[in-house]
């Protein structure tokens, strides 16, 4: 269907691969447009409950935006390129379903920004993270200046962006940038295990919880808790709430359905 991205499904899990290994999966316009189409396709497939995003090959998740393409851009070209990346990463962030980034190797610049747009990041011990754009005379352009401070705090985000320093997976874990670090051969196994664990829960509740977290983190506590009370009450109109509580009281495994 696409040249630079690949989509596979296993039961209710979608695996989306940025597949330009010879270019370390760098994001050029063609790849971004294909990624946009793939995310739109996934958003319409009601049988997908979790999305895993990974890079092709074993050297990189995504090593960044394509410098060869960016080199001769003018201001308008660069603005449009930034808007395109921001739009797609926001689509990922706003997907109803949870999104897991399985990060192997380099996640730099646009690759780090892509990982940050996902809900959960699992990294291999060989992963490297960074926003090295100032070394090229530019700023991060796919919302790195916005998501990195929200994830690890303003002071450390400024340090990493101002210096362009790369950090290891272990340092990323310490800072809260990633959720788990595993050996490279266990990366996809760990991502699949987490996806299956999420799938075993009530899917309406999972999606509403994601919505509440995403909305609440951008607003004041009163607005956030008011929205939480709304999604909490909506759960009580679902089959899953009745089934989940009955199963708990009856000491059995719940049979959740999206209803």
pLDDT bucket at 12, cuts 50 / 70 / 90: very high
Residue 170 annotated among the catalytic residues of the structure:
no
> DSSP secondary structure string, 97-152?
S-EEEEE-SEEETHHHHHHHHSSEEEEETT-EEE--GGGGT----SSHHHHHHHHH
pLDDT digits (tens, 9 = 90+) for 151-208: 999 999 999 999 999 999 999 999 999 999 999 999 999 999 999 999 999 999 999 9
Residue 238 DSSP code: S
Residue 18 located in a structural domain = yes
Domain co-membership, 138 together with 238 = no
Domain co-membership, 208 together with 80 = no
pLDDT digits (tens, 9 = 90+) for 22-38: 999 999 999 999 999 99
Residue 30 located in a structural domain = yes
Residue 87 located in a structural domain = yes
pLDDT digits (tens, 9 = 90+) for 135-151: 999 999 999 999 999 99
Domain co-membership, 159 together with 54 = yes
Residue 133 annotated among the catalytic residues of the structure:
yes
The CATH number linked to 244 is 1.10.12.10
pLDDT digits (tens, 9 = 90+) for 86-140: 999 999 999 999 999 999 999 999 999 999 999 999 999 999 999 999 999 999 9
Asked whether the beta carbons of 167 and 129 are under 8 A apart, the reply is yes
Domain co-membership, 77 together with 133 = yes
Integer-rounded Cα radius of gyration of the chain = 19
Please tell me the number of Cα atoms within 13 Å of 174 on its side-chain side.
6
Residue 259 located in a structural domain = no
- Identified catalytic residue from 34, 37, 93, 113: 113
Residue 233 located in a structural domain = yes
- Residue located via tokens 């060989």: 126
Domain co-membership, 226 together with 169 = no
| Residue 259 pLDDT greater than 80, yes or no | no
| 121: β partners | 101
* Boundary residue ending a domain (199, 217, 238): 199
Residue 113 located in a structural domain = yes
Domain encompassing residue 210: 203-249
Return the pLDDT at 116: 98
- Identified catalytic residue from 34, 133, 185, 193: 133
Q: How many domains does the chain have?
A: 2
Domain co-membership, 17 together with 101 = yes
- Residue located via tokens 């009163």: 222
| Residue 57 pLDDT greater than 90, yes or no | yes
Q: For all residues of the chain together, what is the average pLDDT? A: 97
Return the pLDDT at 257: 87
The mean pLDDT of 239-257, rounded to a whole number, is 96
Residue 94 located in a structural domain = yes
Residue 230 located in a structural domain = yes
Domain co-membership, 42 together with 110 = yes
| Residue 227 pLDDT greater than 80, yes or no | yes
Determine the Cα–Cα distance for residues 212 and 191; give it in Å rounded to an integer: 23
């Amino acid at each position: 269907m696409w040249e630079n991205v690949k989509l596979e499904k296993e039961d209710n899990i979608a695996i989306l691969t940025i597949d330009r290994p010879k270019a370390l999966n760098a994001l050029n316009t063609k790849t971004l447009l294909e990624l946009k189409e793939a995310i739109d396709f996934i958003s319409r497939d009601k049988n997908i409950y979790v999305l895993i995003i990974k890079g092709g090959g074993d050297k990189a998740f995504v090593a960044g935006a394509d410098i060869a393409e960016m080199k001769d851009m003018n201001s308008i070209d660069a603005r449009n390129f930034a808007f395109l990346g921001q739009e797609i990463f926001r689509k990922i962030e706003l997907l109803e379903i949870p999104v897991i980034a399985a990060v192997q190797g380099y996640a730099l610049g646009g690759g780090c920004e892509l990982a940050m747009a996902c809900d959960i990041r699992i990294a291999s011990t060989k992963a490297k993270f960074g926003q090295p754009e100032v070394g090229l005379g530019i700023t991060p352009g796919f919302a790195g200046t916005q998501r990195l401070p929200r994830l690890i705090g303003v002071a450390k985000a400024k340090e990493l962006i101002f210096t362009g320093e790369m950090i290891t997976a272990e340092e990323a874990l310490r800072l809260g940038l990633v959720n788990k670090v595993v050996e490279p051969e266990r990366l996809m196994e760990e991502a699949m295990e987490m996806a299956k664990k999420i799938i075993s829960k009530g899917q309406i509740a999972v999606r509403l919880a994601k919505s509440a977290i995403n909305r609440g983190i951008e607003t004041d506590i009163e607005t956030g808790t008011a929205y939480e009370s709304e999604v909490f009450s909506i759960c009580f109109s679902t089959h899953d709430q009745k089934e989940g509580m009955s199963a708990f009281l009856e000491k059995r495994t719940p049979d959740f359905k999206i209803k």
